[in-house]
Chains A and B, each alone.
Chain A
Amino acid sequence: MTGEGLTESCPGRCPRLCRSSVALLVIFLSSCSGSQSALDPAGPEASRVAHLFFVMLFGGAVIWVAVVAALIYASRKKNAHSEESAGRVILWCGAILPSAILCALLSYGMWLMPAIRPWVPDDQPVRRIEVTGEQFWWRVRYLDETGKTLFETANEVRIPVGEPTHFALKAADVIHSFWVPSLGGKMDMIPGRTNPLALQADREGIYNGVCAEFCGESHALMAFRVRAVAAADYEAWLSERSAETRTNGLADAEGLAVFLKNGCGACHAISGTAANGRIGPDLTAFGERNTLAAGTLPHTAEDIARFIADPAKIKPGVRMPHFGMLQEADIQRMAAFLKELK
């Protein structure tokens, strides 16, 4: 196996090697610290694929330079070569060499595929996170080994560091695609199907995810966050969120009253209150999230108010009706209340 030796002997080193060897790349990659880059991997799948990419990039660059050099030489040279020698160029450079290189590359890729997305038998009990793509947000349900729902949240996924997290990916309306570039490749969410995906983060942090399949008017505004935390913290958070009754953040009775009075609970649920709507995103512990409206806005009280007043202005085609007719004070009140839901 050509690829195997490389990967085992220098995990993560070749990317750095390539970075230093290709001057142009340094310019592009020096700013690769964004949390949404496949070239800045934070998990085993992403880093092995990034490694594959750098191998191919290096090989491709060599081949391209060679072809262009041959082309320039062929058009500038003084004497015509014989037909026989030109024919040998076709045989060796056009047919045999590419066949051999592609055979090696294909084997590397085929070996990599089951290595990064291994076989999980159907009957093996695993905890899954069920993520459902909806226009234009993500419904997230934490399931136990038996598939029972522990609790629901939206637009932010919390996962433990250092172990694979299994996702069950679904779609409610149209096709979406679930992609966290720093952790691994994407997987489509298709109505009528449940697609599996396992991702692992090797270090704590916040990683951006996006919808990668065109899903309608605001496809561009359908992002989410993955928050990777230490395994122990994860378990603690999981059991805390799974608890039946919650009172956190509900001290603001007046804000809750405004929220309920305006019918928000028909679509949104807040655990521990009368709001139990299932149409829109679950707002339990909404204040913990980093972003608003599926990664579209920063999570500030002003932006929450802005969104409540006219969601379609921020997110064209959104299902939520606008509430601009409410008193400005009521909107502010709700925004403040939601911001504090922890």
Chain B
Amino acid sequence: MMVELGNFTPEERAAQEERLRKAWKTPGGWRYWTSVNNSEIGLWYGVTAFAFMLFAGLLGLLMRVQLSVPNNDFISADLYNQAFTLHGTVMMFLFAVPIFEAVAIFLLPSMLGARELPFPRLSAFGFWSFLLGGVFVCGSIFFNAAPNAGWFMYPPLATDKEYAGIGADIWLLGLSFIEVASIAAAVEIIVGIMKCRAPGMRINMMPMFAWYLLIVAGMILFAFPPLIAGDILFEMERMFDWPFFDASRGGDPLLWQHLFWIFGHPEVYIIFLPAIALMAMIVPTFSQRPIVGYSWIVLAAVGTGFLSFGLWVHHMFTTGLPQISLAFFSAASEAVAIPTGVQIFVFIATMLAGRVIFSVPMLFGAGGIIIFVIGGLTGVMVALAPFDWQAHDTYFVVAHLHYVLIGGMFFPIVAGIYYYFPFVTGKKLSDAWGKVSFWLMFTGFNVAFFPMHFSGLRGMPRRVFTYPEDIGWDWFNLISTVGAFIFAAGVATFVIDIFRPKPKPKERNLNPWNSGTLEWTNDPSEDWGMRSVPIISSRYPLWDQPNLQADIEAGRYYLPDAKSGKRETLVTSVLDAEPIQCLRVGGSSYVTIIAALALGGVFIALTYHWWIPTIISAIITFIAILWWLWNGTGPIPESAEVDVGLGQTLPVYVSGPASVGWWAMFITMVGDGTAFASLIFGYFFYWTVHDDFTAGASGPGEPWPMVALVLFVIAWLLTIVARQLNEKGVVGCRIALVAGIGVTFAACLAGVAGPYLHGMDPTSNVYPAIVWIIAIWTVTHGAVGIVMQAYCLARSFAGRMTAQYDQDIRNVALYWHFMAFTAVVTFAVIGLFPMVSA
């Protein structure tokens, strides 16, 4: 890609910078919180997640104090149970996943050479949801109302209202809310990585971090929805007594375990891969050479991503499933060790082929690997079902999982914070403090967790608030407690190092570690990210492209200016990163906060069964989101094409598969389809566990489901017709949309008619309950489909959707493809399967 770089006089540059500054300005005063800029959202996200981690760490210390000596009564059994439930929940949901979202939102645009991720307001919405949900969940322990049934929430213990009171609802609803935020972040990250890379950054040039994050975001899309489906079933049982997990009415507690662990095991890798991604940025820098085995890293990331979905039953090895089923999961669990091993040896090979500077980030990185390898090896052990029959639910597993997560995630995160601190603040953290912190953490961690392998194999089960003194666990536990405090001292040292006042560096040095990747060209004191969007021709452009930094800062590349006064970034093609669009992204806004608060209100009001506030909050959420879409998405631009610099003009508005919005819809619907598939899995699961899964109850019959199926298909066709007619003129499109709304409405009525007219009582048995829930799922999607059709109609009348500017109808048509698929599967299954199986 040979192009003439731009040349500007200092005056022109100053004017450009003024306009850019104005467009990307972070609001001042209390309006600061309406900011949606990735550097603010990323920082808030990170700080919040870190604070939750410290809180959960304190809970961990509380548990260690209680277990330091046998028969201790430092805290009560119930408080201990709340503490370990919250420790696991907070570490997994409020620290490990969000911290990676934080790092991704903060780093990705700079790394990819974009000004901003494609949906900044979505990131902001995700953050506010996360903050609200997190505070709600954590705060519960101060009212003695925290969830107390374990972070895995197994029914029937967690559905027992006498034992697991409001805490279980707080867990289910608070975390569902946060899962929504995670899926939002996944959409943002996938579209950002696929479409917003700097020109020339082909997929073989992407930073390692982006490869990992792409895979992780894809995993979130398939891992979180099953849990959301599980949460729905769970909350229906708790709130309305639908017996999904109640064995006495045909339910089965194991269905929850399946859904939870289909989420839960990929979750481990969702946590682990981004941390390794940070290592993949750090190791080449301190080996002073490009990474060896770039393709191997891709193998490792993709391979782990896939295999991690074949491991979930290894959390259920002792539930009495047939050995052959367990064996398949043993096999996949061993296989996943291969890509993990590749990852470690890629780092070793890179260090072998380079000259290593052993700085603090490397110290934490190497220490993390040393710890993680132990966790990996014990992982290979527990992956074998026969050994797991002994080790399962003992302190051996506690040791294993902490070796994996602290070695594979926490240490690399700390390494990443040391590495990227200058990128965030322009100042370095202290080497001396870092070394002290490392040795305290490393020693403390091993002293705390290594003995747990032995206490576990000597028979100590997990989640015990105390233990007798004569069994031989005393010393192991006392040592563990001492180690935990040493570890905590290391973390405290690190926190002090972050917050202590640091002198301003004497000279401006944007790249203090001499790194090779693009993010180090950014000036932390400016809000615009990249001064101009460069053309990339190397994996390590700062090493291989001479004068890059100066050219970027002189505005010699793309988008050196913000003439429109709007926030603009480049969209490029997926494989070869050729510029295809100048994308305008949303700026500071209240709407994200209002939408998040209102949605939070829905979940919190539901927890306490306050129905009226629930409905009011839901209406506010609905209005806020519509307002957001109406004003914030797809505005018709002042001109079709704009000058992006370097003598090129690009369209501002694109629709269909070329647009980021279409991709976001596609990705969201893939996640939505996964949740739906989980419900269908539930239907067939109940079929397998019973001889007659209908328990003699009447089904929805065949006629009504078939009518619904046909009507939904017609509504889908009408939507497609509307899309086609819109290209020719508004009238036909509007007629088709009106017809579509009517047919969809009829289809929804027909959908519930089957179960309703056959008097299926969802509290009587699990069969009517699962039929109802699947029908409700589909009909709810039908209702959303109506809203979308009506939205297009309104946009058409308002002149915001025309033959040329037709994003709305195209995205809605895409939704309807998924809608039609959902409807066909739903009504074929609930209508026809009872006939087939009988």
Contact = CB atoms under 8 A, between A and B. Distances in A.
Interface of A: 28, 31-32, 34, 36-39, 46, 48-49, 52-53, 56, 60, 63-64, 67-68, 70-71, 73-77, 80-83, 85-87, 89-90, 93-95, 98-99, 102, 105-106, 109-110, 112-114, 116-117, 169, 173-175, 177, 179, 181, 184-188, 190-193, 195-196, 208, 210-221, 295, 316-317
Contacts of B252: 192-193
A193 B458 CA distance: 29
Contact of B386 (A39, A112, A215): A112
Contact of B352 (A77, A211, A316): A77
Contact of B248 (A94, A175, A192, A212): A192
A240 B387 CA distance: 38
Interface of B: 76-78, 81, 149-150, 154, 156-157, 160, 163, 247-248, 251-254, 289, 292-293, 296, 318-320, 323, 326-327, 330-331, 334-335, 337-338, 341-346, 348-356, 358, 362, 366, 369-370, 373-374, 377-378, 380-381, 384-394, 454, 457-459, 461-468, 471-472
A220 B247 contact: no
B387 A52 contact: yes
A146 to B, nearest CB: 22
Contact of A181 (B163, B323, B343, B390): B390
B838 to A, nearest CB: 23
A179 B395 CA distance: 14
A37 B472 contact: yes
A32 B318 contact: no
B362 A75 contact: yes
B318 A186 contact: yes
Contacts of B356: 74-76
Contacts of A94: 296, 341-346, 349
B461 A175 contact: no
Contact of A39 (B150, B458, B463): B458
B351 A68 contact: no
Contact of A192 (B247, B326, B337): B247
Given A90-B292, A94-B343, A186-B389, 14 more contacts: A31-B472, A36-B459, A37-B459, A38-B458, A49-B390, A67-B348, A110-B327, A113-B386, A184-B390, A190-B253, A191-B156, A191-B248, A220-B464, A316-B78
Contacts of A38: 390-391, 457-459
B320 A75 contact: no
Given A60-B377, A102-B334, A212-B393, A109 B157 contact: no
Most chain B CB atoms below 10 A, which of A34, A87, A99, A192: A192
Given A71-B370, A179-B461, A316 B341 contact: no
B327 A113 contact: yes
Contacts of B467: 220
B472 A71 contact: no
Given A90-B292, A102-B338, A214 B150 contact: yes
Contact of B471 (A195, A196, A208, A214): A208
A89 B390 contact: no
Given A116-B386, A187-B320, A190-B319, A90 B349 contact: yes
A105 B334 contact: yes
A109 B378 contact: no
Nearest to A110: B327
A24 B247 CA distance: 48
Contact of B381 (A60, A68, A217): A60
A219 B463 contact: yes
B338 A95 contact: yes
Nearest to B467: A220
A90 B156 contact: no
18 contacts: A38-B458, A52-B384, A52-B387, A56-B380, A67-B344, A71-B370, A80-B354, A86-B293, A86-B349, A86-B353, A87-B349, A109-B386, A114-B323, A116-B386, A192-B253, A213-B393, A218-B77, A316-B76
A249 B562 CA distance: 95
Contacts of A67: 344, 348, 369, 373
A217 B323 contact: no
A95 B341 contact: yes
B383 to A, nearest CB: 8
A37 B370 CA distance: 28
Nearest to A48: B386
A186 B346 contact: no
Contacts of A210: 459, 461
A248 B374 CA distance: 56
A190 B319 CA distance: 8
Contacts of A113: 323, 326-327, 385-386
Contacts of B344: 67, 94
B259 to A, nearest CB: 15
Nearest to B164: A216
B458 A36 contact: yes
B392 A186 contact: yes
Given A186-B392, A213-B393, A181 B459 contact: yes
A110 B326 CA distance: 10
A38 B358 CA distance: 42
B457 A109 contact: no
Contacts of A28: 454
Most chain A CB atoms below 10 A, which of B386, B462, B465: B386
A83 B338 CA distance: 22
A217 B466 CA distance: 11
Contacts of A71: 348, 351, 366, 369-370
B345 A186 contact: no
A258 to B, nearest CB: 30
Contacts of A191: 156, 247-248, 253
Nearest to A89: B349
8 smallest A-B Cβ distances: which pairs?
Answer: A185-B389, A192-B247, A94-B345, A36-B459, A220-B464, A195-B320, A109-B384, A74-B351
B318 A106 contact: no
A56 B387 contact: yes
A34 B458 contact: yes
A81 B454 CA distance: 40
A104 B344 CA distance: 21
Given A52-B384, A99-B338, A186-B392, A216 B157 contact: yes
Contacts of B462: 212, 214
Contacts of A81: 352-353
A52 B457 CA distance: 13
Nearest to A68: B370
A87 B292 contact: yes
Contacts of A316: 76-78
A64 B341 contact: no
B386 A190 contact: no
Most chain B CB atoms below 10 A, which of A48, A75, A94, A179: A94
A106 B331 contact: yes
Given A53-B381, A174-B156, A193 B320 contact: yes
A43 to B, nearest CB: 12
A183 B320 CA distance: 18
A52 B386 CA distance: 9
A90 B291 CA distance: 12
A136 B374 CA distance: 35
